Chain A
Amino acid sequence: MISLRIDDTPVQAEPGETILQAARRAGIRIPTLCFLESLSPRGACRICLVEIRNWNGRLVPACATPAQEGLDVVAHSDRLTALRRTILELLFAERNHICAFCVSSGHCELQDLATELGMDHVTFPYRFPALSVDLSHPKFGLDPNRCVLCGRCVRACAEVEGAFTWGFSGRGVGTLVEPDLGGPWAKSPTCTGCGKCVQACPVGALFEKGKATSEQVKRPEILAEVTERRPRA
């Protein structure tokens, strides 16, 4: 077992576990967004950044950093809360996150994080990009205006379903999640229509058609459940 400290609490971790896993087992909540149980960690959203005191105060993503013997981790501090809030603000300002018009309002991880971290207004200018919505698929829709580029759909599709339909195109602020090499979702030759991407999406970017906001509750945990139930060789 590896011994480390998180917020001055002694914590034990199995070899190979991440700081986030160690914290969760010890009942310490670290907010996350791009992380999803059973998918490979991406370390992209930076919401789960923690400070390592004995690495000169370096900030690392808890989801992707292996727990190591003797680490002195700060998971909650004024500095970290301010940082997480700023990152949330940047996400809200980047695209068009208008809760009142979103099918995920009320059960959206981005919205929940804003509440949890006390982010009650955005101090950056909104960018208001005009991104076109893909409603070609008979069961699902994709609204990139609400996408936070966490890549949970991409990983769910590749790692759990094995279809590799979703991928990123473009780069920087112009990055988009697209099926195959672009083109309408309905025309995708690889999509199995399983809907795991929709369940994995933390926001309203991927949604089920024909469901009202109150019915649009997602079940991201099914990815872990499916993986768990799989027979192992």
Chain B
Amino acid sequence: MRRIQVLVCSGTACQSSGGERVKKALLEATAARDLLPEVQFVETGCMGPCELGPVVLVYPEGTFYVRVRPEDAAEIVEEHFLKGRPLKRLLWAGAAPQPQEIPFFARQKKVVLANCGVIDPERIEEYIALGGYEALGRALTGMTPAEVIAQVQRSGLRGRGGAGFPTGKKWELVRAGGPPPRFVVCNADEGDPGAFMDRAILEGDPHAVLEGMAIAAYAVGAAQGFVYVRAEYPLAIRRLEVALAQARKLGLLGPRIFDTDFSFDVEIRIGAGAFVCGEETALIASIEGRRGEPRPRPPYPATCGLWGRPTLINNVETFANVRHILLGGPEAFASLGTEKSKGTKVFALAGNVRNTGLVEVPMGITLRELVFDIGGGVPEGREFKAVQIGGPSGGCLPASLLDVPVDYDSLTQHGAIMGSGGLIVLDSSTCMVNMARFFLEFTADESCGKCVPCRVGTQMMLGILDRIVKGEGSPEDLLRLEEIGAMMKAASLCGLGQTAPNPVLSTLRYFRDEYEAHIARRSCPAGVCPNLVRYVVVPEACRSCDACRRACPTGAAQGEPRKGPYRIVDELCIRCGACFDACPFGAVRKLPREEAR
């Protein structure tokens, strides 16, 4: 009789912090106590709080352990498994034992992620036990394709890849897009820096995506599907392969599913590392074996997609939503969210926030709730500055907009976008100019080079930003950035170029003073841009250990061991930061330069 169930997170984040070793140590410790017949171990997908990994959840009582190390295994087995006492020191903040008591979990609403971190993603039986493939069965045996489309339309589901196109509408367009063969494609080429929603879903609940694809295929009349997933997601690819094999074995994919006339199968296509292949027409070109380049639309993939056939392309999270619409009904689905944005959205919280990780919230929640209640706010001693939503295509929203509801239209209205769900929290230690430059460098590097506005425009904007962060900018540069940005938005071929200026334009809108400080005073207010800071020694903290003087290559750090605080001579300083890195007491500080030149 199994009396204890141990869920070990095996998402990419927990694996990289040692989750596998923890599981192995727990198994060994359990075996050493002869408890193996009583304890069941399950490897699950992502549970969410990636920052605190590796995480382990112990049932029946649901004790949530964080930052578990292999050395803790013996104690967990001894104290908890044998004696029934949860190990206090491994609990979240040393206090709350159950996930539902932790604000990080309590404020979330898990629909898409309901199975993530609960089931073993490599066992189809666990998915089926929780209602898996029931929605597909209902659709195939009791609904016409038109009825399925109508339900998806009534649910108000919009594309989770970022642009927010109504999903039911898209399905209808594909069905009417021309005679078969038609195709269904799952876009899993998640490439925004700091975003890992789709990876977590594929790793934690791959069948939900496959079931959504099968339902969509039935609705639009397709017999063949493709998952286009990036090569950087080896674990997601492996779990997809396992899921495909298991679904085929049980007849949930392949010929005559549920003994109906409907046949559908899915193949995996692995991307070769180009960000632009997340754009649907470039993705199609890549699947067809051509260079991953977008092409002008119209015609849209709904009428002219893969090999010129009508093709439905939805994102991972969109497909994962579908079964919930059929199971709970479109009205129940639409009861969550706002008037124009229904359901939930998964976000990858990253950056200067305490609880980084994967969260799912109802649409319409405010940024404040997301960042502070769920994310736990910024680390101590810092000040919240902005959230960057939507990655390289998105924008920055300042503290004054923290009460903006998170839905497609509100975010767009304020210069950001919903995007695929990357949400990076920035605090007072972030330079907004440098941040905008980072994203632009990314898009300039990822531009495919097909159209002139994006290929050359990103380079020109990057050149200006390079000068500004070096302290060589001029006031006209800001107007120039806005001009080039507006031109790229209007004239670029695909979404990459059309949105690439957004990080710059939105920071110019809300943090123009920081740009002006870089230009007019040659000072970086956040103390980040190397040329625009000065290094100073805080006398009270200095123990005159000589480390900075030894590290300094130019003799700017001066002083004598044990003879009072050191100092850094600004005229000699080349701002390499060696003293900053060398100081063991944090006595060297980076401050914004003050003098005008």
Taking CB atoms and an 8 Å cut-off, the chain B residues in 445-459 that contact chain A are 445-453, 455-459
| A175→B455 contact, CB < 8 A | yes
Which B residues lie within 8 Å of A170 (CB)? Answer: 449
Taking CB atoms and an 8 Å cut-off, the chain A residues in 22-79 that contact chain B are 41-46, 49, 59-61, 64-66
Q: Tell me the bound Cα distance from A162 to B459 in angstroms.
A: 35
| B455→A149 contact, CB < 8 A | yes
Question: Does any Cβ of A come within 8 Å of B274's Cβ?
Answer: yes
Question: Does any Cβ of B come within 8 Å of A171's Cβ?
Answer: yes
- B450's nearest neighbour on chain A, judged by CB, is A44
Q: Of the 9-residue stretches A85-93, A99-107, A208-216, which lies at the interface with chain B?
A: A85-93
Question: Does any Cβ of A come within 8 Å of B238's Cβ?
Answer: no
A66-B298, A173-B459 given as contacts; is B449 within 8 A of A83 (CB)? no
| A124→B460 contact, CB < 8 A | yes
| B447→A173 contact, CB < 8 A | yes
Which B residues lie within 8 Å of A86 (CB)? Answer: 487
Which B residues lie within 8 Å of A65 (CB)? Answer: 296, 298
| B457→A60 contact, CB < 8 A | no
Question: Does any Cβ of A come within 8 Å of B491's Cβ?
Answer: yes
- B489's nearest neighbour on chain A, judged by CB, is A59
Q: Tell me the bound Cα distance from A168 to B447 in angstroms.
A: 14
| B449→A46 contact, CB < 8 A | no
Q: Tell me the bound Cα distance from A60 to B460 in angstroms.
A: 23
Which B residues lie within 8 Å of A87 (CB)? Answer: 452-453, 487, 491
Closest chain-A Cβ to B382's Cβ sits at a distance in Å of 35
Which A residues lie within 8 Å of B451 (CB)? Answer: 43-46
Taking CB atoms and an 8 Å cut-off, the chain B residues in 481-500 that contact chain A are 487, 490-493
Closest chain-A Cβ to B439's Cβ sits at a distance in Å of 15
Closest chain-A Cβ to B445's Cβ sits at a distance in Å of 6
Q: Tell me the bound Cα distance from A86 to B480 in angstroms.
A: 12
Interface centre among A44, A64, A168 (most CB of B within 10 A): A44
We find that the number of chain A residues with CB closer than 8 angstroms to chain B is 32
| B447→A59 contact, CB < 8 A | no
Which B residues lie within 8 Å of A124 (CB)? Answer: 456, 460
| A173→B490 contact, CB < 8 A | no
- A151's nearest neighbour on chain B, judged by CB, is B450
Which A residues lie within 8 Å of B493 (CB)? Answer: 43-44, 46, 61
Q: Tell me the bound Cα distance from A197 to B291 in angstroms.
A: 20
Contact with A along B436-475 (1 / 0, CB 8 A): 0000000011111111110111111001000000000000
Contact of B491 among A41, A49, A66, A93 (CB under 8 A): A49
Question: Does any Cβ of B come within 8 Å of A127's Cβ?
Answer: yes
Which B residues lie within 8 Å of A189 (CB)? Answer: none
- B276's nearest neighbour on chain A, judged by CB, is A171
Closest chain-A Cβ to B233's Cβ sits at a distance in Å of 21
Q: Tell me the bound Cα distance from A149 to B455 in angstroms.
A: 10
- A86's nearest neighbour on chain B, judged by CB, is B487
Q: Tell me the bound Cα distance from A171 to B497 in angstroms.
A: 14
Total A-B residue contacts, Cβ distance less than 8 Å? 88
Contact-residue bracket for chain B: 20 to 34
| A91→B456 contact, CB < 8 A | yes
Q: Tell me the bound Cα distance from A127 to B444 in angstroms.
A: 14
Question: Does any Cβ of B come within 8 Å of A138's Cβ?
Answer: no
Contact of B456 among A64, A83, A173 (CB under 8 A): A173
Question: Does any Cβ of A come within 8 Å of B543's Cβ?
Answer: no
Question: Does any Cβ of B come within 8 Å of A94's Cβ?
Answer: yes
Q: Tell me the bound Cα distance from A9 to B316 in angstroms.
A: 46
| A46→B491 contact, CB < 8 A | yes
Which A residues lie within 8 Å of B491 (CB)? Answer: 46, 49, 59, 83, 87
Question: Does any Cβ of B come within 8 Å of A174's Cβ?
Answer: yes
| B291→A173 contact, CB < 8 A | no
| B291→A168 contact, CB < 8 A | yes
Which A residues lie within 8 Å of B456 (CB)? Answer: 90-91, 93-94, 124, 173
| A171→B444 contact, CB < 8 A | no
Q: Tell me the bound Cα distance from A174 to B453 in angstroms.
A: 15
Q: Tell me the bound Cα distance from A124 to B460 in angstroms.
A: 7
Which B residues lie within 8 Å of A127 (CB)? Answer: 459
Question: Does any Cβ of B come within 8 Å of A172's Cβ?
Answer: yes
Which A residues lie within 8 Å of B459 (CB)? Answer: 94, 127, 172-173
Question: Does any Cβ of B come within 8 Å of A231's Cβ?
Answer: no
Q: Tell me the bound Cα distance from A61 to B453 in angstroms.
A: 13
Q: Tell me the bound Cα distance from A49 to B452 in angstroms.
A: 12
Closest chain-B Cβ to A218's Cβ sits at a distance in Å of 21
| B453→A172 contact, CB < 8 A | no
| A175→B449 contact, CB < 8 A | yes
A43-B295, A59-B491 given as contacts; is B460 within 8 A of A90 (CB)? yes
Q: Tell me the bound Cα distance from A173 to B456 in angstroms.
A: 7
| B487→A173 contact, CB < 8 A | no
| B457→A172 contact, CB < 8 A | no
| A172→B446 contact, CB < 8 A | yes
Taking CB atoms and an 8 Å cut-off, the chain A residues in 147-203 that contact chain B are 149, 167-168, 170-175
Question: Does any Cβ of A come within 8 Å of B142's Cβ?
Answer: no
Contact with B along A108-132 (1 / 0, CB 8 A): 0000000000000000110100000
Interface centre among A90, A125, A174 (most CB of B within 10 A): A90
Closest chain-A Cβ to B343's Cβ sits at a distance in Å of 27
Q: Tell me the bound Cα distance from A190 to B121 in angstroms.
A: 48
Closest chain-A Cβ to B157's Cβ sits at a distance in Å of 24
- A154's nearest neighbour on chain B, judged by CB, is B291
Which B residues lie within 8 Å of A94 (CB)? Answer: 452, 455-456, 459
A43-B295, A44-B493, A66-B298 given as contacts; is B457 within 8 A of A90 (CB)? yes
Closest chain-A Cβ to B244's Cβ sits at a distance in Å of 31
| B452→A125 contact, CB < 8 A | no
- A176's nearest neighbour on chain B, judged by CB, is B449
| B295→A64 contact, CB < 8 A | yes
- B444's nearest neighbour on chain A, judged by CB, is A172
Question: Does any Cβ of A come within 8 Å of B84's Cβ?
Answer: no
Closest chain-A Cβ to B265's Cβ sits at a distance in Å of 31
| A171→B453 contact, CB < 8 A | no
| B455→A172 contact, CB < 8 A | yes
Which A residues lie within 8 Å of B444 (CB)? Answer: 172-173
Closest chain-B Cβ to A181's Cβ sits at a distance in Å of 13
Interface centre among B295, B452, B459, B492 (most CB of A within 10 A): B452
| B449→A168 contact, CB < 8 A | yes
Interface centre among B449, B456, B463, B490 (most CB of A within 10 A): B456
Closest chain-A Cβ to B294's Cβ sits at a distance in Å of 9
Q: Tell me the bound Cα distance from A230 to B445 in angstroms.
A: 42
| A125→B463 contact, CB < 8 A | yes
Question: Does any Cβ of A come within 8 Å of B299's Cβ?
Answer: yes
Q: Tell me the bound Cα distance from A170 to B460 in angstroms.
A: 19
Known: A46-B451, A172-B449. 10 other contacts (CB 8 A): A43-B493, A83-B487, A87-B487, A90-B460, A94-B456, A172-B446, A172-B455, A172-B459, A173-B459, A175-B455
List 3 tightest A-B contacts by C-beta distance, closest first: A175-B449, A43-B296, A90-B456
Please name 7 pairs of A and B residues whose Cβ atoms are closer than 8 Å in the assembled complex, sorted by A: A46-B491, A49-B491, A87-B452, A94-B452, A124-B456, A125-B463, A172-B455
